[in-house]
Amino acid sequence: MMTALATVTAVTESKQGNVVELSCQQQSSCSHCSSKSSCGTGIVSKAVGNKSHKWALITQKKVKPGQMIEIGLPEKKLLQFASVVYLIPIVMLMLGGFLGESLFASGDGEGWVILSAFLCMAAGIWLARKLSEKMQQASEQAITLIRVLGDPVDIG
């Protein structure tokens, strides 16, 4: 199980328990790497900044807004999600190239082969987006509350 720290943003009561809305900062390991200034990923992460993710979960535990909690997500869900998002467009790109090569192999068909590959890749991106939306909803339901860490500390 992968774990992350999240901040409780809102709590509402329902029949199933407390519906807890969470905000979690995406962190990259680039800030700890020795080659962050010369690495392309480090430069991009510095330019883009930290991204905040929002989730909701249902729990029986009492929490209040502002508290830090530890949440868990099964690795299987993350691997499935990453596989869909990264592999489907690449496979579709290759299939489009092979399809274009078989259909337009004679003569000056190189442009058509490239167009076929990019159209299939675009279809793969669309398909990956649709599948990932469904998978995201399922993964949000798999998020579990591991422990409540406490209230944030104000330094100032």
Structural domain boundaries of the chain? 2-150
Write out the DSSP string of 80-110: HHHHHHHHHHHHHHHHHHHHHHHHS-SSS-H
Q: CA–CA distance from 112 to each of 19, 89, 91, 102, 108 (Å)? A: 52, 19, 18, 11, 8
Q: How confident is the model at residue 14 (pLDDT cuts 50, 70, 90)?
A: confident
**pLDDT at res. 29:** 57
Q: Three-class SS of residue 20? A: strand
Residue-wise pLDDT tens digits, 116-152: 999 999 999 999 999 988 887 776 667 888 888 876 6
Least confident of 1-10, 46-55, 62-71: 46-55
**pLDDT at res. 116:** 93
Helix 75-103 to helix 110-142 angle, to the nearest 10 degrees? 160
**pLDDT at res. 120:** 96
Residue that the structure tokens 């329902």 belong to: 14
